Structure 1
Amino acid sequence: MEIDGAPRPAFVVQIHDARRLHFDFRLEVDGVLKSWAVPRGPSENPSDRRLAVPTEDHALEYREFEGVIPRGESGSGTVIVWDQGTYRPLGHDGSGDAVPFSESLALGHATFWLYGSKLHGEFALTRVRKGDEPDSGGHEAWLLIKANDRLAVRGGPGSPDPYHARSARTGRTLHQVAAAASRGPGG
């Protein structure tokens, strides 16, 4: 899929069973995957406001990673690709001109349309706390929110159960990926 003749940037949502189970929400921006840890996972219900804590940028190749990060390494634990696809930035200035997505993020509010295998429609990331604010403890916080569009889920849970969720890449669960890794190569 393309935007003005260029391929759309990618997104991925990985479930990461690390020290604490969480979802990693990643958007391709300026040659890297900008990343947020989302403890309760993204929701397709517009009434759900999901905490999203920025983490380090990842290389674009990481969007396909599924496996077990060994003990002793940063982020050790099992990872599956819960959702993947492309997205379309939606930010515009007052005159209707498109705003670069990295600029929207720097300003603290970015809207985008997801074309995933599971997540669809308009979402927004909004910074609610800067890391340099006196009460922040040095930690920045964002909210990931689904727009109230025709693709929204209402009246029910809008988030997946991470323990029963299946990979968008392989169809495997966290448990199946961990079990295959414990059996060794070719597992």
Structure 2
Amino acid sequence: MSLTEYNQKRNFNSTVEPEGEIKKSTSELIFVVQKHAASHLHYDFRLEMDGVLKSWAVPKGPSMNPADKRLAIMVEDHPYTYKDFEGTIPEGNYGAGTVIVWDNGTYTLADYKNAGDLETKLKSDLQKGHLSFILNGKKLKGEFALVKLKKKEENTWLLIKSKDQYAGHKDILLQDKSVISNRIIESLKK
């Protein structure tokens, strides 16, 4: 995986975002969801895969309701160290705005059986355009799927909650505090 696009879009002399380097978890794979108040408020959904964070911008944010099919636009890979990034990206920089870590935790593939080939299975499922995974986060729990839309732009996907014991109709986005700093995005802007 490459972080070239990530690094090219950023001026690290003027942004506090981490520079792109390939790195992996020492045990379980991680996921992170960052609430990002840029030109439009959205949520960045990231899955660790092959030493980077595969990333999707989700304009309406994740939902625990299986009836909600959330648009997810695949964006450039982010470095593993981005998992803890909170702060304000200054005006004039790509993605200018405030970021908090809205949720984080670990994940595994829903249909994963063989401990020897997880990375191969992840890359294969991503290539096929259908990832089913189980999140064990502080807010998001249970099975979800990312499904690539056919006949649309190459980077257009849907993020969908599966029907399981964690599914429900409550708006999970009302839980608006960072899982790292316990702050809301508006207080971090100040």
Q: TM-score normalised by the shorter chain: which range applies?
A: 0.7 to 0.9
Q: 34, 37, 43: which one pairs with 2:54?
A: 34
Structure 1, residues 111-157: CA drift from partner, whole Å, max 9, x if none?
A: 0000100000000000013xxx5xx4x5521110011001111xx34
Aligned counterpart, 2:145: 124
TM normalised by structure 1 equals: 0.80
Name 1:49's counterpart in structure 2: 69
- Which runs of no fewer than 5 residues in structure 2 stay unpaired? 1-25
Normalised TM-score (structure 2): 0.79
In the TM superposition, what is the alpha-carbon distance from 1:159 to its structure 2 partner?
4.0
- Give 2:173's aligned residue: 160
**In the alignment, what sits opposite 1:182?**
none
Please tell me whether the aligned partners of residues 22 and 37 of structure 1 are also in contact (alpha carbons under 8 angstroms): yes
Counterpart residue number, 2:128: 107
Residues 127, 143 of structure 1: 8 Å contact kept: yes
Are the counterparts in 2 of residues 52 and 141 from structure 1 also a CA contact under 8 Å? yes
Q: Quick check: 82-91 or 19-28, which moved more?
A: 82-91
Identical aligned residues as a percent: 47
Larger radius of gyration: 1
Two-structure CA RMSD over aligned residues (Å):
1.9
Tell me how far apart the structure 2 counterparts of residues 47 and 56 of structure 1 sit (CA, whole Å): 28
- Is the CA contact 2:75–2:155 (under 8 Å) kept in the aligned structure 1? no
Whether the 8 Å CA contact 1:25–1:35 is kept in 2: the answer is: yes
Count of matched residue positions in the alignment of Structure 1 and Structure 2: 161
Opposite residue 178 of structure 2, the aligned amino acid is S
Conserved? CA contact 1:25–1:38, under 8 Å: yes
Does structure 2 retain, via aligned residues, the 8 Å contact 1:42–1:144?
yes
* Secondary structure of 2:149 counterpart: strand
What amino acid sits opposite 1:36 in the alignment? W
CA distance in 1, matches of 2:154, 2:37: 22
Alignment-derived partner of residue 15 in structure 2: none
